[in-house]
Amino acid sequence: MSGLPGPSARHVTVRAPGKVNLSLRVGPPRPDGYHPVASVYLAVSLAETVTAVARPDGDARITLAESTRRPSSVDTRDVPWDERNLAHRAALHLRQSLGLAPETHGVHLEVSKQVPVAGGMGGGSADAAAALLACSVLWDTGLTRSELAELAAPLGADVPFAVTGGAAVGRGTGTELTPVAARRPVHLVLVPADAGLSTPVVFRTLDELRSLGRAPEGQGEPAVDADVVRALAQADPLALALAMENDLQTPAVTLFPELSDVMDVGLDEGALRAMVSGSGPTLLLLAHSEQDAARLATAVQERTGVAALAVHGPVPGANVL
Ligand code: ATP
């Protein structure tokens, strides 16, 4: 982390990416209630920005940046701007884990959101990752990126990946990461929904559908889709389209049936594949190229009235601006 601001920095701004899961295999719940997953994560060019400003009074505060308060931007009504916010929890977690004195490690976090809230794109996790790195630099902890990713795991399954970024296989609850090579950028169109889906509710619905025989059973330790990893390494969008899978798609569509119609529009407009992103309801459409993604985004927006976004990945993890 050379070239980062040193201990004299009084404010640090960090950008951290949202993610999509190109593959998400989910096993049955373990005795501790967690579902084991095998996921292929891709960090995408839609990012959150967090600025950490030193507070001499030792307090920890969090606010939404003015730029995100415009009506046209992300709907942040369901985000708590207090100690329940994942970025706020990340700052306190770092302070406590390192035994830093609160009196001399106060911070104000200002969060600028671009990633849809409760959209299955890990926006809260990106905020937490950005807050971790910003506070780590502000407090001159000297932690490396991999140490920060390790420290991030208790905050949430997707937080370590938002620290490391790129493309990676995630196992366990998603926090055990192995980087994956992607030879060329993957071009996608993201279609956000006008309402969110609760991740725990989507997982519970998957369990219910499986117990009713309405969704395929999951393996105890789900296996990673090797074809997805291969398609990324070979930069083959058609192979990727065939290999992509998401076990959470059936429960997400059961809870939010309109998603099927939007996926049909995407396919009708030439998407190579339409799939729910993570626990949804954001949809991802796979495109051939950057130009194709731009065209597809415009076409889907015209037909559905939803602001579709052309993005690409992999992009780096949390980084200081
Ligand atoms: P994931 O796929 O990682 O489960 P998601 O992308 O579906 O998450 P988030 O946008 O991370 O969903 O938010 C899920 C919920 O977490 C929100 O509804 C909100 O109540 C809560 N939350 C806490 N902190 C944040 C934050 N900084 N940004 C967004 N939501 C937050």
Closest residue CA from atom 3 of ligand 1:
122
Q: Can you say how many angstroms the Cα of residue 288 is from the centroid of all Cα atoms in its chain?
A: 23
What tokens were used for 23?
């593959």
Q: Ligand 1 centre from 239 Cα, in Å?
A: 31
- The structure's pTM equals 0.93
- How many helices (H) and strands (E) are present in the chain, helices listed first? 10, 12
- Using pLDDT thresholds of 50, 70 and 90, give the confidence band for residue 2: very low
- Between CA 288 and CA 44, with CA 280 as vertex, the angle to 5 degrees is 45
Report the C-alpha dihedral over residues 16, 21, 27, 33, rounded to 10 degrees: 30
Whether 159 and 129 have beta carbons less than 8 Å apart is answered as yes
* Helical packing angle, 123-138 and 145-152, nearest 10°: 130
- Specify the DSSP class assigned to residue 278: T
- 158 a catalytic residue: yes
According to DSSP, the β-strands at 273-276 and 319-320 are unpaired
What tokens were used for 195?
């309402």
What tokens were used for 75?
């709907």
For the Cβ of 120 lying below 6 angstroms from any atom of ligand 1, the answer is yes
* The residue to which tokens 């997400």 are assigned: 252
- Specify the DSSP class assigned to residue 46: E
According to DSSP, the β-strands at 186-191 and 245-246 are unpaired
Tell me the pLDDT tens digit for each residue of 117-155.
888 899 999 999 999 999 999 999 999 999 999 999 999
Whether 202 and 248 have beta carbons less than 8 Å apart is answered as yes
- The active-site residue out of 113, 127, 158, 247 is 158
Q: Which residues pair with residue 39 across a beta bridge?
A: 24, 170
pLDDT value of position 109:
98
Tell me the pLDDT tens digit for each residue of 42-95.
999 999 999 999 999 999 999 999 877 766 578 898 999 999 999 999 999 999
Average pLDDT, the chain: 93
Q: Spell 262-278 as b/e; 16+ CB within 10 A means b.
A: bbebbeebebbbbbbbb
Q: What is the mean pLDDT of residues 172-200?
A: 93
Tell me the residue ranges of DSSP E strands in the chain.
11-26, 37-55, 60-64, 106-112, 167-171, 176-179, 186-191, 245-246, 273-276, 283-287, 309-313, 319-320
Q: Does pLDDT of 5 surpass 50?
A: no
pLDDT value of position 9:
59
For the Cβ of 170 lying below 6 angstroms from any atom of ligand 1, the answer is no
- 113 a catalytic residue: no
Close Cβ partners of 137 (under 8 Å, ≥ 6 residues apart): 1, 4, 5, 9, 12, 14, 52, 320
What tokens were used for 3?
């070239």
Q: Ligand 1 centre from 18 Cα, in Å?
A: 11
- Specify the DSSP class assigned to residue 207: H
Closest residue CA from atom 13 of ligand 1:
118
- Specify the DSSP class assigned to residue 247: T
